[in-house]
A and B are shown apart, each in its own frame.
Chain A
Amino acid sequence: MYKPPGLKWLHLRDTVEMRLLKGLNAWKPPAPKQRICFLLCPVEGSEKKELTLTATSVPTLTDHPLVCGPAFTSLKIGVGHQLDVQSSGVFVLGVGHGCKLLTDLYDAHLTKDYTVRGLLGKAMDNFQEDGRLVEKTTYDHVTREKLEQILSVIQGSHQKALVMYSNLDLQSQEAYEMAVRGVIRPMDKSPMLFSGIRCLHFSPPEFLLEVQCMQETQQQLRKLVHEIGLELKTTAVCLQVWRTRDGLFMLDDALLRTQWDLHSIQAAIQAAAPPGGSRAGEKHEATVGHPAAPQSWLAFRLQGLGVCLGAGELCGALKGQLQ
C-alpha cells in the first residue's frame, strides 16, 4: 500500500479492512439450505382418512443473509513496519494467513529506503516544518562537500555498529565475504542503523538525502536531519520523509488509495506469489478465491504475503539474508 501523508496507519488498515469486507460480502451467497420437517399428510390411495408422517424438504430462511447479517464481519489484517502520520510511502499489510509471514519479514531485518528532504536554516521543536520555531541560522557556508563529508562519517560509524550488532567474528573468512557483499545484518534488536546514506540533491537551502536503514522510526530520521544541520554548524528541519522501499516491496507496486479494493488487492497478492519451485512457492499457495467461482468463497484464504507487492522469490531472499 502507498500511505499518503496525513493519514494514520491505523486508519489505513481499517479502511482496507472495510473495503475488503465490502467486496467479500458482495459475492453471491450459496443456495439456501433445506430443512427436513415432518408433516402429517393423508396417505395416497387409502379409503379411510389415515394420517402418516412424510418427510418433506422445506427451504429454510435461517441462513438467509437478511436474517443472519453479512457473511464476513472482520478480517485479520496485520501491518508491517509503521509509518507515522506525516510520512508517506510503502506500507506493507498482511491479510489472513499472511500475518504470520509478517513476523518473518520483521525478523529478516531487511533494509528500508527513505528519501528525506531537509531545509537548512531553521530549527523547530519537533524537527518538522509545522512545529514551533526554535532558532534561525544562516547557511551560506554550507557546501555539498561538507555535507557529503558528514554523511560519510555517519555511514562509517554505523557500519561499525552493524558489525558489532551482528555478532560476527570479523576475523573469519565468511564474515569478511559477507561484509564485502554488504549483507551483514543485526541479529536481534538494535538501535537505528544506517547501511547507507548519500546525498541526492543539494540546492541550498534544500537538500535531499537517500537513506538505507533498519530498525528506525521516522522521528529518528527527522532527528538525523536536525543533527546533520548541527554538524554543519547551522540548523536543519525535515520537510518530508518518504519510504521508497520496504524490504523487497517497491514503490511501483504500491497500491494507491483509489486501488484499495478487493480486485486490485487480489491481483496484487497473486502477482506477489512467486512462480513456485522454491520454498517460497510452498509457503504461498495463492489460493485466492476468484470472483467468478462463488463456490470457493468459503474457502477464500488469502495466503499471499501482504498486500504490497515485491519482486519474486521473497522467501528465498529471506532465507539468504537471515544469518
Chain B
Amino acid sequence: MALSAQQISKWFNSVKLRSFINAAQLTKQFPRPGRTLLNGFSAQPQLSSDNCFLQWGYKTYRSSSLRNSSQSTNSSRQESNSAQSTLLPVVNEQSEITQELPSFDSELSLEDLDDLPPLSPLQQVSEEEAIQIIADPLLPPASFTLRDYVDHSETLQKLVLLGVDLSKIEKHPDTANLLLRLDFEKDIKPILLFLKDLGLEDNQLGGFLTKNYAIFSEDLENLETRVAYLQSKNFSKADIAQMVRKAPFLLSFSVERLDNRLGFFQKELELSVKKTRDLVVRLPRLLTGSLEPVKENMKVYRLELGFKHNEIQHMITRIPKMLTANKRKLTKTFDYVHNVMNIPHHLIVKFPQVFNTRLFKVKDRHLFLAYLGRAQYDPAKPNYISLDKLVSIPDEVFCEEIAKASIQDFEKFLKTL
C-alpha cells in the first residue's frame, strides 16, 4: 500500500501527460484502499501543480481526476462507475459543478467503501443521480494533435484566440505537453505581460509565440536579465522591441551567448559600435542564426568575388541580408552581373541590391534591354540605367520608364527566351 501511495504521488509530481497510467491498477486499488491512500489524497491540496492539472476546464467532478487522462478498459470504467455511484450520495448535497478531489475526502470514509458491496450496473438509480453521472466522450490519453484537447483546455483556447498557431506547435511534443499543463493565469499571463512591456503589440503576440514557444519554459528573471543586458549595450526600447519581434528566439539566448555573438560581429566586420548596433537591429536574425554561413560568405566575398574589406563593409551596412545569403546563388548572380553584363566592382558596390534579387529577374530584364539596345550600365555614357532601377522596381514601372516598351512586348520577349 505504501507503494501505491508512492506511485500516486510520483505520478502527481510528474509532468508527462503521455505517460500512460494503468487505470486498472489504480481503480482496482480504489475500492480497497488503505489508510495510506487517503494520506495521498489529503496531501494533494498542497501540491499546487496538481490543481492546475486537475482544473483543466473539465467541468465534471469525476470522482477520480486520476481518470482524467488514464482511461482504458471497460472493466475499469465499470468499477469506477460503481465507485462513483457510491460517492454520489455523499456529494449530492454540494451540487457544485466543479468538484475538486479534496472536497470529498472529508466525507469519504474508506472503511465504508470497504463495507459497501460493489454495485451492479443494472441497479436502479434515482433521477438526480442519473443526471449527476456525466459521461462525456473520453479524452484520448495520447494524441498526435492538440485538436482533441483544445475544447477542454482553457489555456489552449485562450492561446488560439491570441493567434497562436497550434498546428505548428503540436509538431513539437514536449512543448505541446507543457502547454497543456500550464495554467493561463499563473504561468502564461506574466510572460505575456512581460512581452507587452517590451513593446510587442497584441496582434504580434500570436506570431511571436508561434515561433518561440519555448519561452514558456524560461524564467521571468532570466528574460529580464537579458533585456537589461541589451539595454546596457545602448539598444533603445524601440530597437529591442523590433529585434524581438523579428527574431523571437532572441530572448531565449543567454547573456553570454548574446555577448559572444555581438562580439563576433564587431570583430569580424570591424565596424564601429553604432554601425554594428544598427546592423543587428535591422537583421536580428544574425544574432540567432548560425555563424558558419556568415563566416563562409565573408570568405566568399573577399577571396572569390574579390571585394575589398571596406567595400564589403559598405555593402553590408546597406543590405545586411547579404551575410546570410546562399553561397551558390551569390556566386551565380555575381558571375552573371560581372561577366555577362560587364559591370565593374565599384558599380556593384554602389548597388548591392543585385545580390538580394532573383537571378532570373536580373537575366530577363538585362536580355530585354540588350534586345532593345538600351543596356547601358556605364554612368559616364548617356542613357545610363542604374542597377538598383534594374532590379528593385516592379515590372510595369520597369517597362514603361526604363525600357520604354509595353508589358505585352516584355512578355512576348520572355516567351522567346
Q: Which residues of A, 142-179, contact B by the 8 Å Cβ criterion?
A: none
Which residues of A sit under 8 angstroms from B95, Cβ to Cβ? 49, 51
For A4, what are the chain B residues with a Cβ–Cβ distance below 8 Å?
Answer: 360, 364, 414, 417
- Which positions 367-413 of chain B face chain A at CB distance < 8 Å? 395, 411
Q: Does A40 contact B (CB under 8 A)?
A: yes
Residue of A nearest to B61 (CB): A40
Q: Kindly state whether residue A67 has any CB partner on chain B within 8 Å.
A: yes
- Chain A interface residue count, CB cutoff 8 Å, equals 32
Instruction: Output the least CB separation between B388 and chain A (Å).
Output: 20
Q: Which residues of A contact B395 (CB under 8 A)?
A: 258
B147:A67 contact, CB within 8 angstroms: yes
Among residues 1 to 45 in chain A, which have CB atoms less than 8 Å away from a CB atom of chain B? 2, 4-7, 35, 37-40
Q: Which of A58-66, A127-135, A216-224 contacts B (4 or more CB under 8 A)?
A: A58-66
Known: A51-B131, A61-B150, A64-B160. A40 touches B97 (CB 8 A): yes
A51-B128, A51-B131, A60-B151 known; A66 vs B166 contact (CB < 8 Å) = yes
Contact assessment for B131 and A62 in the assembled complex, using a CB-CB cutoff below 8 Å: no
- B residues 152-172 in Cβ contact with A at 8 Å: 156-157, 160, 163-168
- B window 103-149: CB within 8 A of A: 128, 131-132, 134, 136, 145-148
Cβ-based interface call for B25 (8 A): no
Cβ–Cβ contact B417 & A62, under 8 A:
no
Residues of B within 8 A of A (CB-CB), count? 32
Given A52-B131, A67-B147, CB of A61 within 8 Å of CB of B360: no
Question: A49–B93 Cα gap in the complex (Å)?
Answer: 10
Q: Is B328 an interface residue (CB 8 A)?
A: no
Q: Known: A39-B59, A51-B95, A258-B395. Contact between A66 and B164, CB under 8 A?
A: yes
Q: Are A62 and B150 in contact (CB under 8 A)?
A: yes
A5 nearest in chain B by CB position: B417
Closest to A258 in B: B395
The answer to whether A257 has its CB under 8 Å from any CB of chain B is yes
A184 within 8 A of B: no
Given A62-B150, A62-B151; A257-B164 close (CB under 8 Å): no
A40 & B131 in contact (Cβ 8 Å cutoff): yes
B360 touches A66 (CB 8 A): no
**B136 CB to nearest chain A CB (Å):** 8
- A4 CA to B368 CA in the complex, in Å? 14
Q: How far is the CA of A62 from the CA of B170 in the complex (A)?
A: 13
Contacts of B131 in A (CB 8 A): 40, 51-53
Interface flag for B339 (CB, 8 Å): no
Check: B415 CB closer than 8 A to any chain A CB. Answer: yes
Q: Is the CB of B157 within 8 A of A61?
A: yes
* Residues of chain B lying within 8 A (CB to CB) of residue A49: 95
Contacts A4-B360, A6-B360, A52-B131 given; does A66 touch B160 at CB 8 Å: yes
Q: Does B416 contact A (CB under 8 A)?
A: yes
- B160 lies within 8 A of A256 (CB): no
* Cα distance A254–B165 in the bound complex, in angstroms: 38
Say how far A155's CB is from chain B's closest CB, in angstroms. 25
| A 67-117 contacts with B by CB, 8 A | 67-70, 88
Interface residue? A207 (CB, 8 A): no
- CB of A242 closer than 8 Å to a CB of B: yes
Q: How many A-B residue pairs have CB under 8 A?
A: 70
* Bound Cα distance A66, B165 (Å): 5
Specify which of B156, B167, B363 lies most central, judged by the most chain A CB atoms within 10 Å of its CB.
Answer: B167
In the complex, the chain B residue whose C-beta lies closest to that of A65 is B167
Chain B residues near A65 (CB-CB < 8 A): 167
Q: Give the residues in chain B near A51, CB-CB below 8 Å.
A: 95, 128, 131-132
Query: Closest residue of chain A to B168, judged by CB?
Result: A69
- Separation of A64 and B59 alpha carbons in the complex (Å): 22
Nearest-CB residue, chain A, relative to B151: A60
A192: CB under 8 A from chain B?
Answer: no
Q: Is A251 an interface residue (CB 8 A)?
A: yes
Contacts of B411 in A (CB 8 A): 256
Whether the Cβ atoms of A68 and B147 lie closer than 8 Å is yes
Name, among A52, A60, A258, the residue most crowded by chain B CB atoms within 10 Å (CB to CB).
Answer: A258
* Chain A residue contacts of B415, Cβ below 8 A: 2, 251, 254, 256
Q: How far is the CB of B144 from chain A (nearest CB, A)?
A: 12
Partner of B414, one of A2, A37, A53: A2
Q: What separation, in Å, do the CA atoms of A37 and B165 have in the docked complex?
A: 25
Contact A67-B160, Cβ < 8 Å, known A4-B414, A52-B131, A62-B151: yes
**Shortest distance in angstroms between B93's beta carbon and chain A's nearest beta carbon?**
10
User: B151 contacts A35, CB within 8 Å?
Assistant: yes
Task: Map CB proximity to B onto A186-199 as digits: 1 under 8 Å, 0 otherwise.
Answer: 00000000000000
Q: Identify the closest chain B residue to A242 (Cβ).
A: B416
Residues of A within 8 A of B59 (CB): 39
Other than the known A40-B97, A61-B160, A66-B167, what 18 A-B pairs have Cβ atoms closer than 8 Å?
A2-B415, A5-B417, A6-B363, A38-B136, A40-B132, A61-B150, A61-B156, A62-B147, A62-B148, A62-B151, A64-B150, A66-B163, A67-B147, A68-B145, A70-B167, A88-B417, A242-B416, A257-B360
22 CB < 8 A contacts A-B:
A2-B415, A6-B360, A7-B360, A38-B136, A39-B97, A40-B97, A40-B131, A40-B132, A49-B95, A51-B132, A61-B150, A61-B151, A61-B156, A62-B150, A64-B150, A64-B160, A66-B160, A66-B165, A67-B147, A251-B415, A256-B415, A257-B414
